[in-house]
Structure 1
Amino acid sequence: MSDSLKGRIALVTGASRGIGRATALALAEAGAHVVALARTVGALEDLDDAIQAKGGTASLVPLDIKDGDGIDRLGYTLFERYGKLDILIGNAGALGSISPLGHIEPKDWDNVFAVNVTANWRLIRSFDPLLRKSDAGRAVFVTSGSAWKAVAYWGLYGTTKAALNALVATYASETVNTPVRANLFSPGPIRTHMRAAAMPGEDASALPPPEAVTASILRLASPDLTETGKIFEFRQDRFLSFQPPV
């Protein structure tokens, strides 16, 4: 267990599986205390066991990311307990329908926007004051290349990620003169449940596992990071400006 993030408080949403779980483990192994947020209690308890086995510590928060009032209460609790938040990983996401735009049910549209966009705005709204209390607040939100590729039938997911990109870029602009740095992380195809649901015929064994991306995410969470308002592409190992790549 390293201590590169010793003493830092890190909140991870969607922490029960996939990239969120792998990131929570990596943060704990680097010395951070992890506040793990997800809906499934059993999966959070399994994560806690894995973190403890690595010598780390965690606080478990069984919460639906769409519960904005719950996010506000969590912000107040973290303020009372720690007085700050050093790292925010906005990982929770919903895929929604892979279908023509005209075939998407309004209920599905609203749900995916609630998870992928509105919930992340609520995270920023609730935790911005705590990130500013840190000597090096770091906010990292998971995005997707579908935000700028405009792939047929991926309109719902891609539109929410485009909105997320604009949200985070705006937040980065608003915090550029503070200790906070806000960036987006684009993992590309990774061996996750969401990827399997989106691409059921794909050979998952050919994809990198979630653990492959954690070093890059920890780089974005590091107090030494200087970049803000950018997209980090995992597959290309590079930062992009907010402008979509040509």
Structure 2
Amino acid sequence: MAGGLEGRVALVTGASRGIGAAVAVELARQGAQVVAVARTTAGLEETDDAIRAACGRNATLLVLDLREGAKVDAIGPTLAERFGRLDILVGNAGLLGRLGPLTHLPETDWTDLWAVNVTANWRLMRTAEPLLRASDAGRAVFVSSGAAARPRAYWGPYGASKAALDHLVKTWAAELAITRVKVNAFNPGPVATRMRAAAMPGEDPSTIPQPAEVAPAIIALCRPEETRSGEVVSFR
């Protein structure tokens, strides 16, 4: 199904479920060649099945733990060899981590949270920049959270990691201001995902937006005609 993204090459992390899977399917539905990244083969295959059902094409599946820095660094050269460029980068993968007092958090939990929510996205920026510059309209979107701007008890590590991500996004956008590349963060608000259910176990998921409802707003930031850059765009 045509949708204005025909021939665009799009990389989506955290694409095995939730927002990432919904974005991958919608990008493919609108014509993009999707490179779907996640840790689990089974989850990526489910996303690939959904993409085939939606538009009849296959995604490129990349099974990868974003905590493995050298493998993240290799994404750029791999895509360069296969596609020659990257038009769209959606950094969706993230960890909630353990909610609780800052001073009670084990160091291993802090390290994992920071590795996925911040360091992996910095590595993605670094490995993807030459390819996004090679595009006629490179677009990058990183999924943030309202917790970044609203500190609250027991959410410190997660909120701090998302605040750091927002800062990186704005800095990268400023550094790319004279190029054709546009970079933004996206705050989806409450969405019915597995992460949300872990954070809010008593919440009725039918009362909040589903991933497929949020995905088009992220895709809008990926379009060649998008002019915003360096912003944190909220779904609602």
- TM bucket by the smaller chain? over 0.9
Q: Percent identity?
A: 57
1:212 aligns with 213
Structure 2 partner of 1:31: 31
CA RMSD of aligned residues (A): 0.8
Q: Helix, strand or coil for the counterpart of 2:130?
A: helix
DSSP-derived class of the 1:221 partner: coil
Aligned to 1:10: 10
Map residues 37-186 of structure 1 onto 2, 5 A cutoff.
Answer: 37-54=37-54, 55-186=56-187
Q: Distance in 1 between matches of 2:193 and 2:130?
A: 32
SS in structure 2 of the partner of residue 176 of structure 1: coil
CA distance in 1, matches of 2:166, 2:38: 22
- Aligned twin of 1:195: 196
Q: After superposition, what is the alpha-carbon deviation per residue over 1:92-137, rounded to whole angstroms, capped at 9, x for unaligned?
A: 0000111011111111011100000000000001000100000000
| Cα pair 1:65 1:115 within 8 Å, conserved | yes
Instruction: Report the alpha carbon displacement of residue 56 of structure 1 after superposing the two structures with TM.
Output: 2.9
Gapped runs of 5+ residues in structure 2? none
Q: Which runs of 5+ in 1 are unaligned?
A: 236-246
CA-CA distance at 1:169 after TM superposition? 0.4
Contact 1:14/1:91, CA 8 A, preserved across alignment: yes
- Partners of 1:42 and 1:90 in 2: CA distance: 20
Cα deviation, residue 71, structure 1: 1.6
TM-score by length of 1: 0.94
Indicate if the aligned counterparts of 1:6 and 1:31 stay in contact, CA closer than 8 A.
Answer: yes
Deviation at 1:67, TM superposition (A): 1.5
Bigger shift: 54-63 or 89-98? 54-63
Give the AA of the match of 1:217: I
The ranges of structure 1 where at least 4 consecutive aligned residues each deviate by more than 6 angstroms after the TM superposition are none
Question: 1:21-65, CA deviations, whole angstroms, 9 ceiling, x for partnerless residues?
Answer: 000000000000000000110111111111112223310000001
1:227 is aligned to: 228
Structure 2 length-normalised TM: 0.98
User: Does the residue aligned with 1:21 lie in a helix, a strand or coil?
Assistant: helix
Paired letter, 2:18: G
Supply the AA of the counterpart residue of 1:90.
G
User: Number of paired residues?
Assistant: 235
